[in-house]
Structure formats: structure tokens, C-alpha cells
Structure 1
């Protein structure tokens, strides 16, 4: 399989994945959770935060920042996968964008003083985001393994074979 054929297979896999019911479910869940979290933090969350003492308020601010950071990284990953599958991004552009997304640094943080005061609604949003984070990490690993398995080996021999194949195609035409 030439490098071009391997790349085409990767694109086809990504297109099939992003067109799948599994991806659509995760995408809708992720985007819905972003919207739900924004609505909570801008509305009832503000009222909940006012009822906390100083330690609780710091814990609330820290956890809400962790939550929004996690959700923005997850939303970025989901949107990137959708753009790749739709052919809106080249593989080079996608690779550049992927380096901006960090799924490993957005998990559960260390327990905080005052964390026992956090509102139940915030805690539920945090838990849901952590579950989504785990699923997205698994999908990311799966996609990376698939892409690596299909990508051409970076060696002088594979480059020569691709060049020879191109020459034969040109000679036949």
C-alpha cells in the first residue's frame, strides 16, 4: 500500500467514524454539556457561589475553572474530529490543531479545602464531564492507533516505492 493509499484509508476511517451514530451521540452530549454548564455557571451557579464561605468560594472558582477548561478541550477535540471527517481540514492542518488540544491534563484535580461545600449541581456537571473525558480519551487513542497503523512508514525505501509507482502510472497513461 502506498503512502497515498494509506492516507486515503485513514481519511475514510475518520469519515466513517465521524458519520457514525457513536460519534454523533458523543458530539451531542459534549456540546450539550458545554451549554448546560454555561447556563448553570451564569445563572444558578452564581447564586450557589454567593452562599459559600471563603474556602468554599475558592474551591468553587477552582472547580468551575477546571470544568470549563475540560469542556473547552473536549469541545475542541469533537469539533476537530468533525472538521477532519467533513474534509474541512487537511491532515497537516489537523495535526497542527491537534497539538493545541490536551486531553491528558484536564482530569480530576486534587481535593480542595472547602470542596465539601460545593453545590450538588456543580458536582454533577463535574462528574458528567469526567465521564465524557474518559470516553473521548479512549476514542482519541483508538483513532491514533488506527492512523498510525495506516500511515506509511517514514523510510527512504517507502519514498522510492511511491516514486516508482508514480512513474509506472505516468508511463501507462
Structure 2
């Protein structure tokens, strides 16, 4: 951990305590990191083992949905692990806060809404459980970001609603589909 991350501001100092540095050095962070790592391992084990068997038994739209949602899950987990590794790098002094912010802005992360119930109904239960756990973990991480940065990405209820509408009606509302 860097000296600046360990240092508390003196009474006559105007420097605020860095929540990010404190959090990344805490037991709560270590537990979150372990939880995320375990989820990545469970997901990889499932997709490389029982998930192959599950996907082989699916046909048509269900097979396509399995492939799409397992890819989305893997992408979400990569974003989550990146977030955690950046935090750890800052806490260890391997990266500055400015470098970390640049990396975070590159990924432009946001909480992608979980698939609609109709999509989840096509998937094996174990995969839907993994998707739900990953979504909850992502929301927790975004709340942590929001607690320390006023311009942090937040889950967007509008984005979620638009996603649900597109899933239900395609790219245009039903009333507009038949019109040129």
C-alpha cells in the first residue's frame, strides 16, 4: 500500500481521506474481491463443464440465447474484475488515482440490466443464478463508486426500460412496425 494511502490528514491539513484507498485496503474489499473471484471460477467451471452439456441440449432460440447470455455474463465478470484490480493497484501504490480514473473512463462501465424474464426462462437455472449474482455484485460496485465520485456511472433505469422495450417489441414500438 502506498504511503499516501496509509496517511491520515493532519488536523491542519485540508486533504480529505481517500475512501477508495481506505476501502481497497479493508477487510470488506478483500471479501468482495474473494466473492468476485469465486464467482468467476464458478462461472468458468460451469461454462467449461456442465454448461456445455446444458447448451448441447438446447435448440433454436434457446441455444442462441444461451450463447449470448453466457458471453454477456463473461463480459460483465471481466468488467467487475478489472474494477477490483484497478482498486487494488491504487491501494498497493502501483497506480495513481489519476491513472485509475483514466482506466475507469476507458471502460465506460454501467450496470447492464439482467435479461428479461422471458429470456431467463429459456436458460438453465444454474446460468440464471450466475447472471443474478453477477448483476447484484455489479450494482454493489457501482454504489461504491457513487459514494466517492459525484460523476460515477450509476445504474440507469431509463437504459433498463429501453432494453426491456426493445426486447419486448424489437427496435420500434408495435404501433410503428407496420408503418414506413
Q: So what's the TM-score if we normalise by structure 1?
A: 0.72
Unaligned segments of structure 1, at least 5 residues: 148-173
Q: CA deviation at 1:74?
A: 0.6
Aligned mates of 1:104, 1:110 — CA distance in 2: 17
User: Which residue of structure 1 aligns with residue 166 of structure 2?
Assistant: none
Q: Answer whether contact 1:49 1:57 (CA < 8 A) is retained.
A: yes
Please report the RMSD computed on the Cα atoms of aligned residues, expressed in angstroms: 2.4
Give the alignment of 1:62-81 within 5 angstroms.
62-81=68-87
The answer to whether the aligner puts 1:120 opposite 2:111 as a matched pair is: no
Aligned mates of 2:20, 2:93 — CA distance in 1: 10
The answer to whether the aligner puts 1:139 opposite 2:137 as a matched pair is: no
Mark the structure with the bigger radius of gyration: 1
Unaligned segments of structure 2, at least 5 residues: 1-8, 153-180
Mark the CA change 1:73 to 1:32 in structure 2 (over 3 Å): closer, same or farther. same
Aligned mates of 2:93, 2:32 — CA distance in 1: 20
Aligned mates of 2:85, 2:113 — CA distance in 1: 20
User: Which residue of structure 2 aligns with residue 39 of structure 1?
Assistant: 45
User: Which residue of structure 1 aligns with residue 160 of structure 2?
Assistant: none
More contact order relative to length (CA 8 Å, sep ≥ 6): 1
Mark the CA change 1:111 to 1:56 in structure 2 (over 3 Å): closer, same or farther. same
Mark the CA change 1:102 to 1:32 in structure 2 (over 3 Å): closer, same or farther. farther
Q: CA deviation at 1:41?
A: 0.5
Q: For 1:57, which of 63, 86, 90 is the aligned residue?
A: 63
Structure 1 outlier segments of 4+, above 4 Å: 110-113
Number of residue equivalences: 141
Q: CA deviation at 1:106?
A: 2.7
Aligned mates of 2:131, 2:21 — CA distance in 1: 30
